[in-house]
Amino acid sequence: MIWREKRILLIILGVLLLGNVAFFLTYRIQYQSRLDEMDDRLAQAEGQLAQSKKARTSAEQSLLAYRRVEKDVQSVLNDHWSTQPRRLTLFIGEVKRLAEASNAVPKAIAFDRTESTANATAKPGSRKKDDVGAKEVGIAFTVSATYEQARRMINLFELSQQFVIIDRISLAEGEENKLTFSLRLKTIFREDAVPAASNRS
Amino acid sequence: MKPIHLNLASRPYRDYRPVYAAVVVLSLLTAFLMLNNVETYYRYVRETKTTRAEIAQLEQQTNKERELEGQARQRLQGLDLAHLDQQTKFINAKLAERSFSWSRLLDELESILADDVRLLSVAPQFDKSGRVTLNLDFHGKSGDGMITTINRMNADPQFEGAFPSSEVQIEGGYAFTISVQYLPESGTVARAEALR
């Protein structure tokens, strides 16, 4: 009876006590584990930061690598290959000059031109996709020369400052201990409007 | 005679001492625990202040890094990687053709050709992996010319997989064609090993 009369006070005191006991058990008894948990959270946050930094660096490096490759590609296209109007005559002049330097001047020269695609087996319809923005120009000629002259001419073309590719060499027995030396050279020109690998957007 | 007890109480008497004792005990216990808990709380807050600040800073940095990564990825998505890849492969193939040393190839062919075999034409083909396949036309005075040439190619580390395409008897000898893989790097390695 007396307990019932004071029940409100007792209940309040009981609740307060229970709350404090709960807090005590949670924070006081497990104090060290709480501190350890905080250290774990710190380590976890450090790990996440390291991971994010790595991912960001990787993405930025990919972007940088793309820019670097794009710059190199443009450098080859613009500086080394250039356009046909700017370099064709220089190329022909270089071929003639080196042939003369080898004492084997061709009497006839044949020229040809093909569009270059990344995929050599691409169908004509798919040219747009495979277009790398370059075209190939070939020069073919035959001269009568000794083997030494032919080797010298090959060596000169290899050392040329122009972008000259020796495509094919043919030799046949000629007159007066000379060879009939056929050579096909080619070079690449950038197309006037380069489909650069720039942003899609 | 029965004594008369004077009772002036308006309510019946009750003994509340156990209740008050319980209240006092509970209050003391609660007060003790509360003080302890308050001290624990402030100690926890004080001791973890630096750590919590570090965690907050790290989380802020992480968010910033993620934002930067997202921006970089977004920029990457806007780029035409496939086209650049095509251009790069094409350019690399052409640079490989340009840097191909014909002088070295002719030196090599001179060293393996038999006296009665002459080279008529050479046409290299470059594949995407950088391997060079040579299509070679020869003229041999005797019927053994082709066999001798293939044997000599097989003995040279710079040539691999020599295979004849045709042999035709013509006036003054035989014309034959051989296709072979040319490995200029193998020669460099073999020479370096020989020097050691």
Answer whether A59 sits within 8 Å of B81, measured CB to CB.
Answer: no
Question: Nearest-CA neighbor of A88 among A111, A69, A104, A121?
Answer: A111
Answer whether A46 sits within 8 Å of B14, measured CB to CB.
Answer: no
Burial class (CB in 10 A: 0-12, 13-18, 19+), A135: buried
ipTM of the complex: 0.72
**Which helix or strand (DSSP H or E) is residue A180 part of?**
strand A179-190
Q: Which of A19-33, A52-66, A144-158, B45-59 has the lowest mean pLDDT?
A: A19-33
Q: How far apart are CA B169 and CA A23, in angstroms?
A: 105
Q: What is the pLDDT of residues A40-77, one digit of tens each?
A: 999 999 999 999 999 999 999 999 999 999 999 999 88
Q: What is the pLDDT of residues B100-158, one digit of tens each?
A: 899 999 999 999 998 889 888 888 888 777 788 999 999 999 888 999 999 999 999 99
Q: What angle do CA B109, B118, A177 make, to 5 degrees?
A: 115
What are the Cα distances from residue B164, in Å, to A149, B146, B156?
30, 8, 17
- CA A157, A162, A165, A168 dihedral sign is negative
Answer whether B91 sits within 8 Å of A76, measured CB to CB.
Answer: yes
Residues 6+ apart with CB under 8 A from B127: B133
Shortest Cα–Cα distance, A85 to chain B (Å) = 20
Chain A partners of B91 at a C-beta cutoff of 8 Å?
73, 76-77, 132
Mean pLDDT, chain A, as a whole number?
Answer: 84
Q: How far apart are CA A31 and CA A29, in angstroms?
A: 6
Answer whether A171 sits within 8 Å of B118, measured CB to CB.
Answer: yes
Nearest CB neighbour to B123, from listed A52, A168, A171: A168
**At residue B25, does pLDDT exceed 90?**
yes
**At residue A120, does pLDDT exceed 50?**
no
- CA A141, A142, A148, A151 dihedral sign is positive
Q: Region B69-88: what's the mean pLDDT?
A: 90
Nearest CB neighbour to A38, from listed B51, B59, B94: B51
Bridge-based pairing of strands A109-117 and A165-173 is unpaired
**At residue A121, does pLDDT exceed 80?**
no
Chain A partners of B54 at a C-beta cutoff of 8 Å?
42, 45
Predicted confidence at residue B192, as pLDDT, reads 57
Q: How far apart are CA B153 and CA A157, in angstroms?
A: 27
Bridge-based pairing of strands B159-170 and B173-182 is antiparallel
Q: Which of A24-33, A48-57, A105-114, B16-25 has the lowest mean pLDDT?
A: A24-33
Q: Region A83-106: what's the mean pLDDT?
A: 90
Q: Exposed e or buried b for every residue in A97-113, given b needs 16+ CB within 10 A?
A: ebbeebebebeeeeeee
Q: What angle do CA B92, B75, A56 make, to 5 degrees?
A: 95
Predicted confidence at residue A129, as pLDDT, reads 45
**At residue A194, does pLDDT exceed 60?**
no
Alpha-carbon torsion, ordered A34, A37, A42, A46, to 10 deg: 180
Chain B partners of A197 at a C-beta cutoff of 8 Å?
79-81, 83-84, 87
> A172 pLDDT band (50/70/90 cuts)?
confident
